[in-house]
Structure 1
């Protein structure tokens, strides 16, 4: 019984008339969200209420109460859906009261308490169905602390909070459910998810795979490189590692296995590549939008700052795959279309991505960036019969947008509950003080502690929730330690993203395990090795802000070159045969190459460049032996 209570629901697979009506209702809802973001300007609280109640009404029909729920919604599901609609109607009817309401000074009436409590219960159930027990338990613990924390002794306790004040803060202000996470979900995130859904509907995912195959397919280890490139491109649009693994991994993992990669390594390549997509510009994931809104940093600046670390991350994964392929003699695929032919047939998908980059550089808000990119996609799709989007295709794309947003909405609403509770009780500041007390006065221990918290939070909840809770709990401690806001929040974002592949939970690895027919934990361990640079680079961009495109142009260029050298050295150290002392020396050299001190980084960069030219002229890689060379060596 308890297991069922904390079970995760599953998205139902509908057929026939009900599927049509569900997609139609979802498309209508999506159209309303787009209209509200572009043309209407209601206050943040009202749009948050209508978004939450509307999406809940669809969520309880589309997602079952557990994995064992029937394919058709039960009576209880319909009751929850109707209750969501009723809450939306009620809150809309009292919108005048909400506009003039002063929190905690105007006591709530009985009807306001009732509908606030109902919406709170609906939020908890929506969270449980879409994200599972991890985030749900965290929310319940914080809610219990809000109501009963006054009985705890100092310094853990807080002042008494009555139920009316509790509901008032969490449900009738922008400090609770309708705070920053849900506001971002109802605007930027929704619009970019819509762009991704329509892009996939037009065939964009297939184009990305074909482009990756044209670029890398025939080289050694081609299928794995296709996985790295295609997953990176698709992941920056989807923003979901699990979705990325399921989409691109269904094609790349079987091909990798067939051409000689082990199931473990094939799954790990897909997991590492898919996870990095949530930190890959220009779209990144929903957590990046929350970062921009929460910190007040322009989203364009966030995208620019994320560019160098993201490219270095994918270069690191790519090189490890390449060195492994050379060492094991793994060949590429036999056939791949020429790159120009691929671009010629798929230019309609390049155009909207170019529009995104242009609009960001010009300075448009994320809302208009997403809208312009979507309009460009729809218009461009009409130029070829294969990609042309019919009205039915657009409707299905809009419906799919809403359904993709269900877990995001549940996670963001739950995160708002936790943030509201932290604000109400003052626990955020207490937690920050505890972090500083435990970590001590040093920056490195504080960063290690912050990374551990972000990863632990991410193991039990989606990336947006893990990031925002980490930012609320640890962010003030980072600021107190004089770590600038952008590096501090990018640091937490990276570890929240990497939690998707970190054992023992590693949700992305479980998705790959089902395709690769391999143990999920083994895949997760190998994916951590492939993503090793991702675990290291956040410490260095806190230390050297030039890696985040901050500072003088020369320093940025040196930092980028140092990062490339560090990636090559690190990949060689991880994928070659060498003594332990030499491997350790490589790790030290990689770190020195990214250091902010020119007397350390420049000699490493120059030395690596000289060695690289020598090895290139010889046509061999150091410490990476092909199967033929290994056989000759063993015979001798």
Structure 2
């Protein structure tokens, strides 16, 4: 066998960068494929141009009235940002299963949907008519009876009929996977209509009248339709969990005055509420602000890395470093998922991207199906807390708190290390208990050969260096994207015009889920801010803290996890930050600590039973029971549920203190998670541990993670007691336990 063939076989990560097609995504052919590809590519390129200030006019000096000029007005940019994701979402993602062939299509429903195209197009025409009138200087306010009549019956009523009728028909309509569905095309027109109207009306002083009698009724009617469209696309791309939570919050707006205690809220008239919902107090607020800038930019960056096959290299590199260790593929999952997950922005998406490779390999070396899925889920979830990108969570935190992004990224270093060190130890001890060995040298890529391509890390290095040199996040992201193109020319996967266009297309499609989810989270944030329920929740935390601060923190943890269940990371954090973080700040906890506390538990909701998206995605790949997998992933990530409490007791873990305090906190915490992993897995100093030893290890771990001098001494005492117990009373158990093989890596 030739050396070339051997090297090709060792490229076991091949295919990691292939585009994942969801089960309900349409797969177009011919002109339909070309149309969607162009639309998605232009959508991504529009954001890149807007964020960098580039346009045809600025490049050529030619002003064309029908092309956008940059920089765009902020609200207009966010409205177009959401509308574009809605259009692509409706055209690409089906609301139900596909029929096997054209005989299973529901053509009668398609004809009914064609009738709804009439009011949809009417609302769009009227929206343009309003825009031309306003541009010509027409006076516009909600108190004018003529304007109110036109907005209600010529714009709002047709828009509602088309929107709600189109959503209802889409649920029952079935169309082959390669074709456009008429109800979805109607809904796309409705999304354009909402955007045109809001851009026109917010171009006047009317944005300052939202929530008052002077606000045109059309704003409220457009917001109702826009919210319904956002909820429907979110259901298609992210499932029912976030939609259900959003629905509960919306119902609360109009029923809160009936509820007792801190849940009681003032009665709010629907028009007043919805006139404010589609503003920066809600849908166009912090979540959309971040998705329209940082998140879309880094999705495009990830798409360029994917198009240039850098993801393949990352995974192969991880295999070369960790493949020989006992339980090798599991440790590869930790490293590879951490690298991919920090850019990905969604735990479940990261599981699908890397788990399709690592989970079968883990099964092959001896891990049970549920354990293999759990390891991948825990590792992919951890990618969301890895700086500098943190799955876009760092950018949302910076937007909400006003804390500099670099401070957030630095503060995340020790907690991220603790998480992955803990997962590594858990995996290693599991492999030790099962007597596993690593992969053979001829089964993994050559480290020496891969080191020759170490330059493929240059885009990540440029991103990190640019951020810490003080460049803006946008500029750093653009430089990193350009670097991805440049380094591709040093490989066989050179990015020419076609591949660059493909990368923009992939970026546009990959962004749909996260953008619609952020917009949907904006609905919840809007309800919280406009009803004041967040402030009342803070008072509850203060009351609990008067009894016990630990009890208040535990309650905050439970609420953060509950709000995050079934939601992607960014949405989970945005919602929890609005409800929980203000209360923690009122307890006297610093804003950075409070938001990190909330962020970690929002992230961990992806592996927390009973609703654990990352675990369920991994179970789908491994073929294991979803609930058993989620319980196993919760166990593997157990240290992450303890570390956030230590933020409160030891600020040095978040880089708040002297260098000596930070280093001591880091070292003792790592030792602590090692002991905690040993206690949970029942493995200590190359042998199985008894129940008493495991309890002592757990107590030692908690003491050392806490980080105070007294707690460290107590922890050392517990370790000594555990070792003595292990040495003298567990000898028989240790003698019968399998030991590591010759090519395994010991973590002792």
User: Judging changes above 3 Å, is the alpha-carbon distance between structure 1 residues 462 and 624 closer, same or farther for their aligned structure 2 residues?
Assistant: farther
User: Judging changes above 3 Å, is the alpha-carbon distance between structure 1 residues 155 and 536 closer, same or farther for their aligned structure 2 residues?
Assistant: closer
CA distance in 2, matches of 1:407, 1:231: 20
1:498 partnered with 2:604: yes
1:550 partnered with 2:656: yes
CA contact (8 A) 1:150 1:158 kept: yes
Alignment map for 1:350-389 (pairs within 5 Å): 350-384=457-491, 386-389=492-495
1:57 partnered with 2:87: yes
CA distance in 1, matches of 2:518, 2:734: 48
Unaligned runs of 5+ in 1: 1-7, 631-636
User: Judging changes above 3 Å, is the alpha-carbon distance between structure 1 residues 337 and 136 closer, same or farther for their aligned structure 2 residues?
Assistant: closer
Name which of 181, 193, 196 aligns with 1:89.
196
Query: Partner of 1:125 in structure 2?
Result: 232
CA contact (8 A) 1:9 1:128 kept: no
Query: Partner of 2:44 in structure 1?
Result: 30
1:337 partnered with 2:445: yes
Query: Partner of 2:536 in structure 1?
Result: 430
Unaligned runs of 5+ in 2: 1-21, 54-69, 99-173, 742-748
CA distance in 2, matches of 1:566, 1:157: 44
CA distance in 1, matches of 2:416, 2:716: 20
1:66 partnered with 2:174: no
CA distance in 1, matches of 2:219, 2:699: 61
Name which of 265, 268, 274 aligns with 1:158.
265
CA contact (8 A) 2:412 2:654 kept: yes
CA contact (8 A) 1:428 1:472 kept: yes
Mean Cα displacement is larger for which, 533-542 or 158-167? Answer: 158-167
Alignment map for 1:30-49 (pairs within 5 Å): 30-39=44-53, 40-49=70-79
Query: Partner of 1:203 in structure 2?
Result: 309
CA contact (8 A) 1:326 1:624 kept: no
Mean Cα displacement is larger for which, 325-334 or 517-526? Answer: 325-334
Alignment map for 1:447-526 (pairs within 5 Å): 447-526=553-632
CA contact (8 A) 1:44 1:174 kept: no
Q: Deviations over 1:32-65 (max 9, x none)?
A: 1111112133343221111111211111111112
1:149 partnered with 2:256: yes
User: Judging changes above 3 Å, is the alpha-carbon distance between structure 1 residues 57 and 379 closer, same or farther for their aligned structure 2 residues?
Assistant: same
1:285 partnered with 2:299: no
1:274 partnered with 2:380: yes
Query: Partner of 1:633 in structure 2?
Result: none
Query: Partner of 2:710 in structure 1?
Result: 599
Mean Cα displacement is larger for which, 314-323 or 350-359? Answer: 314-323
CA distance in 2, matches of 1:415, 1:626: 50
Structure 2 counterpart SS, 1:503 = coil
Mean Cα displacement is larger for which, 395-404 or 194-203? Answer: 395-404
1:17 partnered with 2:27: no
The alignment's TM-score, normalised by the length of structure 2, stands at 0.78
CA distance in 1, matches of 2:419, 2:258: 48
CA distance in 2, matches of 1:559, 1:207: 34
Q: Deviations over 1:167-226 (max 9, x none)?
A: 22112x210110000110000011111111111111122111111111111122111111
CA contact (8 A) 2:541 2:584 kept: no
Query: Partner of 2:413 in structure 1?
Result: 307
User: Judging changes above 3 Å, is the alpha-carbon distance between structure 1 residues 561 and 624 closer, same or farther for their aligned structure 2 residues?
Assistant: farther
CA distance in 2, matches of 1:176, 1:320: 41
CA distance in 2, matches of 1:247, 1:194: 16
Q: Deviations over 1:124-169 (max 9, x none)?
A: 2222222222221222222223234345566543333223211221
CA distance in 1, matches of 2:23, 2:533: 31
Kindly state the Cα deviation for residue 450 of structure 1 after the two structures are TM-superposed: 0.9
User: Judging changes above 3 Å, is the alpha-carbon distance between structure 1 residues 569 and 351 closer, same or farther for their aligned structure 2 residues?
Assistant: same
Kindly state the Cα deviation for residue 460 of structure 1 after the two structures are TM-superposed: 3.1
CA contact (8 A) 2:560 2:598 kept: yes
CA contact (8 A) 1:279 1:310 kept: yes
User: Judging changes above 3 Å, is the alpha-carbon distance between structure 1 residues 607 and 444 closer, same or farther for their aligned structure 2 residues?
Assistant: closer
Query: Partner of 1:5 in structure 2?
Result: none
Name which of 393, 410, 413 aligns with 2:516.
410
CA distance in 2, matches of 1:153, 1:243: 40
Query: Partner of 1:562 in structure 2?
Result: 668
CA contact (8 A) 1:9 1:129 kept: no
CA contact (8 A) 2:398 2:404 kept: yes
CA distance in 1, matches of 2:564, 2:219: 34
CA distance in 1, matches of 2:474, 2:734: 50
1:587 partnered with 2:693: no
Larger Rg over CA atoms: 2
CA contact (8 A) 1:356 1:370 kept: yes
Kindly state the Cα deviation for residue 331 of structure 1 after the two structures are TM-superposed: 1.5
CA distance in 2, matches of 1:387, 1:605: 53
Name which of 537, 541, 544 aligns with 2:643.
537
CA distance in 2, matches of 1:603, 1:150: 52
Figure out how many residues of one structure are paired with residues of the other and give that number: 613
Q: Deviations over 1:476-497 (max 9, x none)?
A: 2211211111111111111111
Structure 2 counterpart SS, 1:627 = coil
CA distance in 2, matches of 1:28, 1:337: 38
